[in-house]
A = this chain, B = another copy of it.
Amino acid sequence: MARQFYVTRREVFSAAHRLHSNDYSDAENAEIFGKCNNPNGHGHNYVLEVVVKGEIIKETGYVIDLKILKNIIREHVIKKVDHKHLNHDVDFLHGINPTAENIALGIWEQLVNKIPNGELHSVKLYETENNYVEYKGE
């Protein structure tokens, strides 16, 4: 097998959300999610890092042209979540409690079949500068 490289594209989106689980009563939601359960929601500048793993294409020297990866991410993720409310406005999060884990998984599923060269390796999502999650398809 040829040498394997990991190439990453970073994108940022600004969205509102509210943590609320249909498995709990309102009182339980308030207790479990605390200020993240504020009825009117709150929001974040989410930082998204998408990693593609693959071989270099000899002619270009690229695993994947990052302009192409950028466009794929913007088409299938950013335009659906940027300046949106994640509980109300996003098709791929419909009915899902938008924790960072669940958002990362949703983004993975949006992208996993759209990568033309190499394969999706990781989706990393920063909710704040102190809190982030990563999903690698395991």
Contacts and interface: CB of A to CB of B under 8 A. Distances in A.
How extensive is the interface on chain A, given as a class? 35 or more
B136 A101 contact: no
A71 interface: no
B4 A61 contact: no
Contacts of A43: 14-17, 41-45
A134 B6 contact: yes
A115 interface: no
A60 B99 contact: yes
A134 B135 CA distance: 18
A53 B12 CA distance: 24
A131 to B, nearest CB: 5
A119 interface: no
A100 B66 CA distance: 10
Nearest to A54: B101
Nearest to A138: B4
Nearest to A97: B61
Nearest to A6: B134
